[in-house]
Amino acid sequence: MAYTTTFNGQRDDETLLFVFRRHIIAMRKGFYMLLVPLAVLSIPPLIWQDTLELFLLPLGGLAVGLVGFAYHFVLWRYTYYIVTDQRIRQVTQKKLFGIDVVELSLAKVQNISYNIPGLSGELFHFGTIVIRTFVGDLVIRNVDHPARVYNQLQDAVNRAELIQGVEDEIVSQQKVVT
């Protein structure tokens, strides 16, 4: 599968570093919505086995469950995080037709930390990343492989700080010359 190195809203002087999304465990409500109607509507055919029409109930439960699962899958699939050499862009799918975009300059990042919530987080490799800035915190829950994403984010912030420091040095030298 070929990945593109551009995205909607990308600036001309910006380079895409990586893209990450939430872990599939963030979609657990969708799995529940798939299984619960199927399980509940499978009970009547087991109790009243002589009524043939009741055997259609599990199919109806499966259909209802698939609709709920598809809804949560769309929310999960179209929520992602883009990291460039200048900023972090959070694109969140809201309902079926709404999109929420939050951008955060890498130069404004003060601190990044991550947390893996116990045994389930260790087993399934998910956790929470907190990005602290001057204006507040960006909390990203249920991140797939949080340690790897944390390291990539730290590298991106360090590169941005280095570039900002070089640019500040050039500006200060130009002021001294003039």
**Domain containing residue 111: CATH number:** 2.30.29.30
Task: Indicate whether 4 pLDDT > 80.
Answer: no
Confidence category of residue 3, pLDDT binned at 50, 70, 90: low
Residue 62 lies in a domain: no
* Averaged pLDDT score across all residues of the chain: 90
Residue 34 lies in a domain: no
Q: What is the pLDDT of residues 52-83, one digit of tens each?
A: 889 899 999 999 999 999 999 999 999 999 99
Residue 85 lies in a domain: yes
Residue 39 lies in a domain: no
Average pLDDT score over residue span 97-105: 92
Confidence category of residue 33, pLDDT binned at 50, 70, 90: very high
Residue showing tokens 């951008």: 103
Q: Which residue has the higher pLDDT, 153 or 49?
A: 153
Q: Identify the domain containing residue 146 by its residue range.
A: 16-29+74-177
Task: Indicate whether 50 pLDDT > 50.
Answer: yes
Residue showing tokens 């404004």: 108
Task: Say what percent of the chain tops pLDDT 70.
Answer: 97
Task: Indicate whether 1 pLDDT > 50.
Answer: no
pLDDT score of 65: 95
- How many residues appear in the chain? 178
Residue 81 lies in a domain: yes
Number of domains in the chain: 1
Residue 35 lies in a domain: no
Query: Which range has the worst mean pLDDT, 1-10, 80-89, 159-168?
Result: 1-10
Contacts of 89 (CB under 8 A, 6+ apart): 7, 9, 81, 82, 83, 101, 102, 103, 104
Residue 48 lies in a domain: no
Q: What is the pLDDT of residues 11-28, one digit of tens each?
A: 888 899 999 999 999 999
Q: Is 93 exposed, middle or buried (0-12, 13-18, 19+ CB in 10 A)?
A: middle
Residue 67 lies in a domain: no
